Amino acid sequence: MAEHANVYPLRREPKPEPRPQRPRSKQPPPPEPLWREALGQRLHALRRHRQETLADTAGRAGISPQYLSEIERGRKEPSSEMIAALAGALGITLTGLTEQVAGDLRRQYGTNESGPVLLARAA
């Protein structure tokens, strides 16, 4: 007959402490919008407010209507020179356009932060 051996551990492993459960939010926060999307929405709103066609605004800015359409839909990331040209074509300064887009982002994301704090959040 086979003998049965009893095996005892030399040291007992401590039981891990249960981690406190964080309350889970029902929905994750919405992703922050992209700058190019917010810029495109603002440019579209400014153009529509002036009751202009894509061709009207694009012609004054020196770009094609197709490219302006892609910018407005957030598909293209325009250069700073192109943004300045579009701002001028829409009768607004680059600073004014930038402030409007920043305000749109604050309202959409629900924050009142501005300046370096807002820029640090984006980083």
Per the domain annotation, does 29 fall within a domain?
no
Rounded distance, CA 65 to CA 58, Å? 5
Domain assignment present for residue 113? The answer is yes
The enclosing domain of 48 has a CATH number of: 1.10.260.40
In a domain, 75, yes or no: yes
Q: Residues 79-115: pLDDT tens digits? A: 999 999 999 999 999 999 999 999 999 988 776 555 5
Domain count, the chain: 1
pTM over 0.75: no
Tell me whether residue 8 is in a domain: no
Residues 52/58/62/68 CA torsion (nearest 10 deg): 150
In a domain, 87, yes or no: yes
Question: Containing domain of residue 100, as a range?
Answer: 35-122
